[in-house]
């Protein structure tokens, strides 16, 4: 693994940095606690930033140019994402650009590409992901939402949960069971659901930090036309695998974690705090661990550049990063001391209440995007060749 950029990659990195210095507003750089990172249209600034990216042709780095994307190489995508993270720039419409769009490009018909891709690029349409259910999270293939064919439509009944951005989305990537007499992986289909369809209802879920990002979504005899079936009937599991493959890069998360450590250092310096020796050692360990997280991300991209598929390597990166996020949150509390329990709004809250917020948000880090148990299973079976337990 070579950490040095080629001359071409170094020039591209400088181009991205120059663009960010010139075009990224200061208030967006500072908005690292906002919903801007999720990119579900909560703030009009997201759309303004998306328009700037569009003018530069960088809205969708991974998409082929023929579909309006930037057509970047694997390494260019990695460099772009790393610099975006280091500049604390938002990722507007991330679920649509990073997940829905690439999956439609791979599996969609010409009509589906024409109908959906332009709205994603423009920021007109935001998307959510209807995968998890109350009893089908880690074991996603056990999902129970039903889709029964009725003439030229499918009728959907069931429920999804932990659906990020559903309250702002116009479309959903929906998995539903269409064959009930075959093994669970083989009877699932993938739909591009219009969230305005009659029978769709969205109920907000507040997370532990008191913010609204998640939702429950209910389907009561919702009609979905056949044209919105993505890929083949009953082959939705394999389409969904394509979607999930786009969630495992890791560099944005790794850089963001290192920035949290830097914030702790700045806080201690600004407030004249001299941490006890154990806490100083903790902070040093966390910084070293963020360097490890970045190195793991470089390992993944190095494999991709060589045409290899980072399977267990991607799971290692995700597992290490999500558990590191929780360790960083604990270190922030140790540094802030008893005042760490004070939340935003209290004049005595350290760092504006961020340690308290981080601590609560970090609880979900080892659940979202595949639990730690799932990641360890992948590492054990595919990386170490161990049998299923």
Specify whether the CB–CB gap between 352 and 332 falls below 8 A.
no
Candidate list 23, 42, 216, 247, residue with the active-site label: 247
Strands 127-130 and 171-177: parallel
Could you tell me which of 171, 178, 199 has the C-alpha nearest to residue 104? 171
Between the alpha carbon of residue 179 and those of residues 136, 226, 236, 305, the distances in Å are 17, 16, 11, 38
Q: DSSP 3-state assignment of 275?
A: coil
In whole angstroms, give the CA distance from residue 40 to residue 235: 28
Known catalytic membership, residue 313 = no
Q: Quick check: 170 and 324 in contact, CB under 8 A?
A: no
Find the angle CA(346)-CA(351)-CA(353) to the nearest 5 degrees: 45
371 within 8 A of 319, measured Cβ to Cβ: no
CA distance 283 to 89: 25
What are the catalytic residues? 247
């Amino acid at each position: 693994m070579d950490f040095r950029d080629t001359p071409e990659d170094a020039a591209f990195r400088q181009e991205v940095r120059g663009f960010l210095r010139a075009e990224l507003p200061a208030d967006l750089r500072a908005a690292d606690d906002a919903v801007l990172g999720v990119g579900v249209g909560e703030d009009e600034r997201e759309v303004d930033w998306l328009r700037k990216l569009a003018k530069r042709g960088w809205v969708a780095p991974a998409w082929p140019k023929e579909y309006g994307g930037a057509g970047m190489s694997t390494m260019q995508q990695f460099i772009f994402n790393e610099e975006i993270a280091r500049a604390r720039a938002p990722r507007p419409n991330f679920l649509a650009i990073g997940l829905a769009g690439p999956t439609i490009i791979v599996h969609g018909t010409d009509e589906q590409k024409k109908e959906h891709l332009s709205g994603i690029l423009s920021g007109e349409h935001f998307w959510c992901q209807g995968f998890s259910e109350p009893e089908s999270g880690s074991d996603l293939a056990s999902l129970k939402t039903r889709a029964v064919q009725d003439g030229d439509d499918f009728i959907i009944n069931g429920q999804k949960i932990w659906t990020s951005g559903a309250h702002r989305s116009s479309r959903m990537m929906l998995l539903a069971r269409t064959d009930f007499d075959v093994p669970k992986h083989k009877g699932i289909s993938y739909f591009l659901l219009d969230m305005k369809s009659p029978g769709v209802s969205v109920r907000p879920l507040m997370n532990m930090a008191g913010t609204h990002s998640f939702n429950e979504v209910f389907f009561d005899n919702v009609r979905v036309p056949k044209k919105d079936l993505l890929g083949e009937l009953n082959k939705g599991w394999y389409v969904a695998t394509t979607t999930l493959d786009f969630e495992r890069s890791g560099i944005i998360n790794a850089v963001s974690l290192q920035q949290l450590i830097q914030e702790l250092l700045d806080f201690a310096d600004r407030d004249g705090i001299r941490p006890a020796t154990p806490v100083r050692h903790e902070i040093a360990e966390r910084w070293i661990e963020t360097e490890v997280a970045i190195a793991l991300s470089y390992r993944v991209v190095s494999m991709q550049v060589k045409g290899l598929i980072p399977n267990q390597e991607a799971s290692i990166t995700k597992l290490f990063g999500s558990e590191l996020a929780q360790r960083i949150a604990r270190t922030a509390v140790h540094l802030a001391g008893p005042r760490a329990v004070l939340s935003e709004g209290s004049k005595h809250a350290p760092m504006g209440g961020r340690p308290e917020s981080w601590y609560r948000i970090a609880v979900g880090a080892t659940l979202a995007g595949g639990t730690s148990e799932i990641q360890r299973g992948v590492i054990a079976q595919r990386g170490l060749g161990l049998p299923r337990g």
